[in-house]
Every structure is written in C-alpha cells, then in structure tokens.
Amino acid sequence: MKAKKTRYLIILLILTIIITFCSFSCTPSGPAKQTIEETAQETAEEIAVEEPEEEPAEEVVADEPVEEPTEANEENEKENINKFFEQIKEYDILVKNFDYSLMTVEALSDWADGKISQEDVGSRYMEITSKVRNDYFIFDILFTIGESSLEKEGIIVTDDMERVIELISSWKDKKERYYKYMANYYYRDGPEYEIEADKIEEELDEITDEYLKLTNEMAKKAKTD
C-alpha cells in the first residue's frame, strides 16, 4: 500500500514539473526582451527606407575659345570679297549710270541742236529704258533665284554682299521706271510724269550713296598691301 502511494507521488511530481516547464515556455516576453525586439524592428525599417539618390554633379562646360583673327583668315576674307566684286562688276550701278547718262545727254543735245523733235527725245528715253532691262535681264537669275552664281563660285555670302545685291536690284527697277516716265513726259503725256520721275531720281541718289559707301568699305577690307 505504501509502495503504491509512493509511485503515485512520483507520477504527480513528474506531471507538476512538466506543467511548470510548459507554463514557463509560454510566458510572454518581459519588458527588456520586448524593448530589444522593438529596437531591432525599428532599425530594420530604417535600413529598408530607400535612401535618396544623389544627383549627379553638374558638368562644367568650358567656354569655347574665341577664334582670333589670323593672317590666313584675313587673306580668305580678302579673296572672298574680290571674287564677289568680280561677279558683280558687269552690274556696277556707277558704271551703268555713267553709260545711261551719256545717252541722255546725247538725246537732249540733239534736241537742242534741232536734230530731233521732242517726241524723238521720248523715243530715245524709251531706248534707254529697254537698255536697262536688257543689261539686267539675267541679274535676278544669277543672284536672286535659286542657287546664286556666288555660291557656285564658292563665295561665302556675307550680309554686306546681300545688301549690295539688294541695292543693285532696287536701283535697276527704279532706273527703268525713271526713264519710262521721262519718255512719257517728252511724248507730251502730261507734266505729272516729270514730277514722278523727279521723285524716283531722289530715291536713286539715296541708293547710289549707300551703294558707294558700302562697296568702299568692302574694298578697304579687300585691299592688299
């Protein structure tokens, strides 16, 4: 009987130990342990946050060196201008104006000498009108339509050159109209034609002055020592 009771106590002791061990294992973490776990979790979250990408350093671009004028560049500029003058020499308004003026003087002299009538003077002016048109017939084709003869000759067209071409084109249009109006005046179509011709003549003088100034400046650049 005593042995049976002893065996029962041993079994009860073993069950007590097992229950106590299980209870200890299932006990929630203490404050210290919980604090450690929270700190570890926060550290992990901070690490997981994506760090901002560093912006690439802005590249410093050095200023392009300014090309200094050299003797070779000056020679090229001179050659370029001389080639331009060679191309337009047939349309130089100073030369053409001299030719047309001689024809005008001849017509008026013949009229003053009684060799021709006033209407004949009108016809002479119409001849000059036709000459202006013929002299500049291919001018626009060469210099203002499509690829100009300047580009074909390898000439680098500058702003001054373009302006010279514009002046020549404007001059020849006004010159042709001027002689046509003078012809109408001598045909006795009315004094208003002479008035209009005088207005155009003033415009022609302004064009000629600008043309002369600009071409002289270009000639100085092209002058060879």
HEC string of 157-205 equals: CCHHHHHHHHHHHHHHHHHHHHHHHHHHHHCCCCCHHHHHHHHHHHHHH
pLDDT given at position 223: 82
Nearest-angstrom CA–CA distance, 127 and 185: 15
Examine residue 165 and state whether it is found in any structural domain, yes or no: yes
- In the predicted structure, residue 70 carries a pLDDT above the cut 90: no
CA-closest candidate to residue 160, choices 103, 80, 95 = 80
* pLDDT range class, residue 50, cuts 50, 70, 90: very low
Would 182 be classed as within a structural domain? yes
Q: What percent of the chain has pLDDT over 70?
A: 66
Asked if residue 157 lies in contact with residue 197, where contact means CB atoms within 8 angstroms, the answer is no
What's residue 33's pLDDT?
43
189 within some domain: yes
pLDDT (tens digit per residue) in 100-147: 999 999 999 999 999 999 999 999 999 999 999 999 998 988 887 656
Contact 179, 122 (CB under 8 A): no
Domain of residue 206, residue span: 91-222
56, part of any domain: no
In a domain, 135, yes or no: yes
Q: If you average pLDDT over every residue of the chain, what do you get?
A: 79
Give the amino acid at 136. Answer: Y
In a domain, 6, yes or no: no
Does residue 52 belong to any structural domain of this protein? no
| Mean pLDDT (whole number) for 175-181 | 98
Q: What is the mean pLDDT of residues 55-69?
A: 54
| Confidence (pLDDT) at 36 | 37
pTM for this model (two decimals): 0.67
Does 77 fall in a domain?
A: no
Provide the number of structural domains found in the chain: 1
Per DSSP, the residues of 110-155 read: HHHTTSS-HHHHHHHHHHHHHHHHHHTTTHHHHHTSSS-HHHHTT-
